Structures are given as structure tokens and as C-alpha cells.
Structure 1
């Protein structure tokens, strides 16, 4: 397909804006949806940096699909933006696990395309995290080591982080004034998800998924290529608990 210089420049302008802000709207959205050639070039630009573009409502969104994408949020950025100077990689691993569990609660343990519930409370989310981590903690050390090799994921570090968080003293305060608890950790994760426009706080300590989140889940989150089998493993913890 032949492209005019004008088409390529319009495509680049859309790509430059959306890659910088993470989204685009207005004239860029209308042009992207209306012009096949411009859309094709924009999509190709995104593909070259392991990202994808999709529209939800009145916005175009730009998200990375691979860890090696230059637009993937680094651990250092997460630590500086959402956590504290004492944050270690185990906090980040644990954050990802809590997000996976949250998504699973909306999608009937990863077996459905459409959400099976409208919202979840923070306390229900915490309960589901606790149940799965308790099951994970019961796995013998040698088996955990094998699971870490298989999934390239630090399950033992996650268990240690979860154990260290004090969910029994919800009113206890650290010197910084923050509650030291699993629930407060989930509030930090919620802050991250809300900033990425993936969840919306609807009040009463309840969350719902955004349309952006639903599109990501439907198109990419369930695919083995992107989740590396971790979804299936987390779901298997439910079965182990039922059989135990």
C-alpha cells in the first residue's frame, strides 16, 4: 500500500501524542478511526515498540504488550511513584499478583470473556488474596523452587512479603503515619490502577473495572503469550484449597 507524505506525517503526529500521554482523543481519534491508511501507519509505529492501540469510548489508548517495550512501566518508576524508598522488587511482584487476583474475581477465575460481577469491595479483594497466598504458603519449599523456574516468578519472595504485612493490626500506625497492613498495600495498588484508568472507585470502598480494563482483559490478558501461564497457576490455587 502506497502512502502519501501527508498521511505518514498525520500518523506520526497521532503516534507521537499518544505515546507521550498514553491516550489521545478528539481530532486524532476521529482521524484514526476514519482513515484506514493513517490507522495502519499508526498501528505499525506502535507495533515496532511492542505496543498496541485501541479505542474505548471517546479515547484512543496506547499500551505496551511486552516487558522489553520502552513504554513498559519500570519497577523503578513504580517504586518512586507509588511506593516508598524502602520498596523492593518483592513489593512489585506482590502487586502484580494482587492485580491478577482482582481481575480473576471479575471474570469468574479467568474462564469468561465478559465480567461476571459489577464491582468488588476492598475487603473481598483482600480475602481472595489471603486465601490464595495461604494455599501458596502451604506448598513445600522444593516445589516452590520448581514453580519459580517454571513461571520465572519469585513466589517465595511474594509469600515473604505477604507474611511481613501485618493485617492483624489494621489500626497500628507506622512512624510515617501509614497503616502497616495488607489492606493498605491494596489501597496503594488501587491508586496505581486508578491512575492507569483500569479501575474506578465507586464509593463505599468498592471498585469497578473501567471499559479500558475490559478491553485489555478481553484482547490480551487471557492470552498465554502475555500472562505466561500465571493466570492458570493462580486459579489452580483455588482448586488446591477446595481439594485440601
Structure 2
């Protein structure tokens, strides 16, 4: 096994351990949001709960009203730029409350951010330990696009943010949330809402958070994968822009 693969496995193990250790407070966070469903742009209690959560975690800087009254951003790191950003929702939907599962999405985002921060703090120490045994490979080089100071790039910054749905989506699709609630049987929606607040949802929620955090580590430590992700994202954005331009042109012609 290469030095880089060995480091990555250890980092992923630590992510899992960190998220498991925070299970109780993450579950409480999710239950608090689930117990008080609030619509988009009105989720003041959910917003305040998330702000409190990150404010109580060590070394996070929290902007409690980031561009919107019910949005926030919590950042960690000394590099002055975001290397990893975790975005999530915390609002409920009309009529169906938290059958949408946004309480779980908020928990996933918070858990992934906490887990990533823990391992990014230790990454240089871990790399040094691994390299003592096999000093021939610069295992942190993959964390940077340059060779000047690769260790710093791996832990420059991390941001967790509560975000809203894009306004363009609402303009184009109408209020799909109401359509969603009309399409599905109310009995099924009630079951979903209840299960999203159930203790049994925690196993799958935390597993999802670990998967997100570990995926971020894969990208951070693999420059080829990072470039592929950037390319695919750029191509997807161009396709979406062309689609939107075509739709606006068609509407203008009518």
C-alpha cells in the first residue's frame, strides 16, 4: 500500500470516529429542527439552533446572518479561502412539514463539517508519521496544485453554510414544493415525516455524513480526481447555462 493510500485510510478512519463521537449532539440538533418545522426564509429557530451548534464547536468562526436573515456561514482555517464547503438546508415544506427530511440534511452537513475539520487539523501530523516509515514520496503534494507549500493547502479552510433554494429555480419551475405535497398521498407523507424524526434514521444519516466527508478527502488528496471534478462541474454548468438561455429565448419569442 502506498504512503498516500495509507494516509487516506487513516484519515477516513478518524472521520468515522469523530462523527460517531458527536452522534448524541448531532441527533439532538436534528430533533430540535424536526420538532419545529419552519418554511423557507422563516426558519429562524432552525437557523439559531445551527448557529449555536457551530458556535459551541472549537475554532469555528460563525457569521450568523450571511447575506440572508436566516442563512449563516461557519468557517474554520487560517488560509483565508474555502478549500471545502458544505452546504445544506434546514427549512420544512408547506403542508408536509419535515417529510422532506431537511432536518436530516442539516445534520448530515453539520456532521460532515465537524468530521472533516477534525482530520484536517491532524493531516500534517499524520503525514509526518507515515513518511517516517517511507520517506521517498511527498504524500501531501496531492493536496495542492503547486509544490510551494502543499501541507497548507490541505487545511486552508472549511466552510459550512445554510443556504436557500435558488430564486431562478422558483421562477422557472414554480413552487414545486406545493406540487410535491399534492402528488403524494397524505398518509405516506405523514409516515415520512415521523420517520425523519425517528431514532432509527440516525444510522443512515451519519453514514451519509461519513460518505460525504470521505469523498471530500478523496478529492483533496488526489489532484487528478480534483481536476476531473472541476472539469465535470464546469461542463455541467455550461450545459445548464445553455439550457436556461434557450428557455429564455423561447419565452421571449412567444
> TM-score band, normalised by the shorter chain?
under 0.3
**TM-score in terms of structure 1 length:** 0.24
The structure with the greater share of residues assigned to helix is 2
Q: Which has the higher contact order (CA 8 A, sep 6+)?
A: 2
